Amino acid sequence: MTKYVAAIDQGTTSTRCMVFDHSGHVVSVDQTEHEQIFPRAGWVEHDPREVWTNTRQVAAGALAKADLTTEDIAAVGITNQRETAVVWDRTTGEPVYNAIVWQDTRTDRICRDLADLGGGQERYRDRTGLPLATYFSGPKVRWVLDNVEGARARAEAGDLLFGNMDTWLLWNLTGGVDGGVHVTDPTNASRTLLMNLDTLSWDAEIAADMGVPMSMLPEIRSSSEVYGHVRERSALASVPIAGILGDQQAATFGQACLSPGEAKNTYGTGNFVLLNTGTDKVMSENGLLTTVCYQIGASAPVYALEGSIAVTGSLVQWLRDNLGILGTAGEVERYARSVEDNGGAYFVPAFSGLYAPHWRSDARGAIVGLTRFVNKGHLSRAVLEATAFQTREVIDAMNADSGVALTSLKVDGGMVVNELLMQFQADILDVPVIRPVVNETTALGAAYAAGLAVGFWASEDDIRQNWAQDKQWEPTMDAETRDRLYHFWKKAVSRTLNWVE
């Protein structure tokens, strides 16, 4: 029997390939970053060709680093930044435009026009589980067809294909113009504003409203089945591609949040809290998303409530790259520890407006409470605290929507090495925060989906058994302090609204 399963994790800032053994431990990893393209304020793009080239490189790199060959790999899974939209020509394989990234706000006008058709921001909530917001892929496809010369005519002639990053990579991995498979899974499809959450199929009426021809849309298959095999003459040649999960759903799966009431929070570029609600979908009345959590083979889909926060780890990057006041992301903890508290400063990073639970595209970032006293340490602390406060907001909304009061929170992602943040998070939520041994839960979740499809893992019980705790932070803050800090956070948020006119 082959000993390993691989996962390709195509994230916002980088692409990695990871190889896991049967116990879910990392055997090998290779990773490379891609360019963040900011053509103008509010626009964020990636070059899909660069991402595809990087994918091939890291697949080869991960095998080489552990001295593995294709024969050692039982299956490969794909997990990806969700909502990031690619439109390409099926006859040439060439993208017609850069990938428009989930954080991009250029579709604000399109979303407002759609809302004006009736129903406002909630127009498609019943069918899709989502508010009308710039975050999702459908309006991004509309923008490409409206703005790239000749694109609409080519789309209507059936020459153009759409996909989130999972679909773009799957199509290329399985041969591209030579028989590439044009498929996605329900977790990715549920982020387009085009999929019906009950039937797990495309909604023709919404696609018509959105001006997106149905011929562009990939086939929706389950999250765990063999979609095709990797093309010949490449690193993972002939390996079955057997799992697709959007990265936040993959992390939920990798964290073994497999029963209703279990939740995780991933701290990466943004933060994403997902609560497994089982085979019942919970429609949010408090600004959360209802989304597909996973669908394993022919089983019924499992749903989740999601609190999506656009800017958390990227705020640390902003301090480092745009202001130059940090040398590395890790330094934020050292500066934050140099002071006792935030010195009265609050930083609301509404760089892409505010996502959950506010959904306010008219908000923009603000630092409030500044006095001459505030220094680099206080700002560093305010940056970390912003992550924890935003998490509290979505978890409060989740409690209200689901009636589930969390008794602990599983965490993962690039920011969870930050111990000050983890302690502050436990304090602001007043529940323990738990970090697993394998923090690479996103790639692991995709590996599990692929491994289950080919019998490498027998059942979800294997996933539960593989999960192990690394560290737990207990809340120590008194209620009065917690309430005071959170009160000022909410006041700071109110100062960012109604900024864009």
Ligand X SMILES: O=P(O)(O)OC[C@H](O)CO
Contacts of 283 (CB under 8 A, 6+ apart): 125, 126, 129, 290
Neighbours of 490 (CB within 10 A): 12
Closer CB to ligand ADP, residue 79 or residue 284?
79
Q: Which residues, listed in sequence order, are joined to residue 72 by a DSSP beta bridge?
A: none
| SS3 (DSSP) at 381 | helix
Confirm or reject binding of residue 317 to ligand ADP (CB under 6 A): yes
Closer CB to ligand X, residue 151 or residue 443?
443
Confirm or deny that 105 is annotated as ligand binding.
no
Neighbours of 71 (CB within 10 A): 10
Q: Which does 83 bind (CB under 5 to 8 A by kind): ligand ADP, ligand X, none?
A: ligand X
Are 27 and 21 in contact by the 8 Å Cβ rule? The answer is: yes
Rule CB under 6 A: choose which of 2, 3, 13, 362 binds ligand ADP: 13
Contacts of 107 (CB under 8 A, 6+ apart): 134, 139, 140, 142, 143
Rule CB under 6 A: choose which of 268, 301, 451, 475 binds ligand ADP: 268
**294 to 333, contacts with ligand X by CB under 6 A?**
308
Binding mask 46-75 for ligand X (x = CB under 6 A): ------------------------------
Confirm or deny that 355 is annotated as ligand binding.
no
Listing from the earlier edge strand, what are the strands of the sheet with 409-412?
A: 289-294, 302-309, 271-278, 263-267, 409-412, 433-436, 469-473
How far, in Å, CA of 401 to CA of 282, rounded? 7
Please give the full DSSP string across 120-146, using - where no structure is assigned: GGGTTHHHHS--S-TTSHHHHHHHHHH
Confirm or reject binding of residue 332 to ligand ADP (CB under 6 A): yes
Q: Which does 417 bind (CB under 5 to 8 A by kind): ligand X, ligand ADP, none?
A: ligand ADP
Listing from the earlier edge strand, what are the strands of the sheet with 26-33?
A: 26-33, 14-20, 4-10, 73-80, 240-246, 224-229
Are 182 and 175 in contact by the 8 Å Cβ rule? The answer is: no
**373 to 432, contacts with ligand ADP by CB under 6 A?**
413-415, 417-418
Number of residues in contact with ligand ADP under rule CB under 6 A: 19
Confirm or reject binding of residue 268 to ligand X (CB under 6 A): yes
How far, in Å, CA of 189 to CA of 185, rounded? 6
Q: How far is the CB of 317 from ligand ADP (least distance, A)?
A: 4
Closer CB to ligand ADP, residue 36 or residue 215?
36
Q: Which does 286 bind (CB under 5 to 8 A by kind): ligand X, ligand ADP, none?
A: none
Confirm or deny that 372 is annotated as ligand binding.
no
Q: Which two tokens stand for residue 101?
A: 């990234």
Confirm or deny that 248 is annotated as ligand binding.
yes
Q: Which does 332 bind (CB under 5 to 8 A by kind): ligand ADP, ligand X, none?
A: ligand ADP
Confirm or deny that 83 is annotated as ligand binding.
yes
Confirm or reject binding of residue 83 to ligand X (CB under 6 A): yes
Are 446 and 187 in contact by the 8 Å Cβ rule? The answer is: no
Binding footprint of ligand ADP on the chain (CB under 6 A): 11-14, 268-269, 313-314, 316-317, 329-330, 332-333, 413-415, 417-418
- Residues near ligand X (CB under 6 A): 11-12, 81-83, 102, 246-248, 268-270, 308
